[in-house]
């Protein structure tokens, strides 16, 4: 485990998601030093987009990975919430997030309830802008997001 991680919350193809001792999240590679290009691309996307209310907060980078605000997976809430008004609100918020991503030239190709998180107020936020190693469309520079380029993730 990376330093500061007290619990691994999730495992992906190329990365782990760990709970940090400060209550935030660290997303870091399964094998230290691998997928550097993918992490660089994801960091650039978070830097460019994370000020939107439908994108999980990006708290910066460490030498181990990406530090993100914590959220609860939508999957868990869908299993316990039958309220149609709340489910409709989440669907509307997911559409708002997708619209924002698309307006900035980003296409999220791994969208599912585990990549949709809820904050403490049960507001939906998108996360996981990393593809598997070797398949991510590499960003040439963060400012290209505003230059009309499209990145498929």
Buried b (16+ CB within 10 A) or exposed e, 81-119: eeeeeeeeebeebbeebbebbeebbbebeebeeebbbbe
pLDDT in tens, 39-70: 888 998 899 898 999 999 999 999 999 999 99
Q: Kindly report, residue by residue over 83-133, the tens digit of the pLDDT.
A: 999 999 999 999 999 999 989 888 888 889 999 999 999 999 999 987 633
**For the chain, domain boundaries:** 5-152
The band of 36, judged by pLDDT with boundaries at 50, 70 and 90, is confident
Cα 146 from chain centre: 19
CATH code for the part of the protein at 5-152:
1.10.510.10
Residues in the chain, total? 153
Local structure of 21: helix, strand or coil: coil
- Indicate the SS3 state at residue 29: strand
Res. 148 pLDDT band, cuts 50 70 90:
low
CA 45 – CA 138 distance, rounded (Å):
11
- Contacts of 145 by beta carbon, 8 Å cutoff, 6+ apart: 44, 45, 48, 49, 104, 105, 106, 139, 151
Q: Residues of 28-59 as b/e, b for ≥16 C-beta within 10 angstroms?
A: bbeeeeebeebbebbbbbbebbbebebbbbbb
């Amino acid at each position: 485990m990376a330093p500061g991680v007290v619990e691994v919350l999730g495992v992906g193809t190329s990365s782990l998601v760990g709970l940090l001792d400060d209550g935030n999240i660290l997303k870091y590679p399964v094998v230290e030093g691998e997928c550097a290009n993918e992490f660089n691309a994801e960091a650039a996307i978070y830097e460019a987009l994370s000020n939107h209310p439908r994108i999980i907060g990006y708290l910066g980078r460490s030498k181990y990975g990406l530090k993100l605000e914590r959220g609860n997976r939508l999957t868990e809430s869908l299993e316990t919430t039958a309220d149609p008004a709340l489910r409709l609100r989440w669907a509307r918020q997911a559409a708002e997030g997708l619209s924002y991503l698309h307006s900035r030239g980003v296409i999220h190709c791994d969208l599912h309830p585990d990549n949709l998180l809820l904050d403490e107020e049960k507001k939906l936020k998108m996360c996981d802008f990393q593809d598997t190693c070797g398949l991510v469309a590499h960003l040439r520079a963060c400012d290209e997001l505003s230059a009309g380029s499209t990145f498929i993730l």
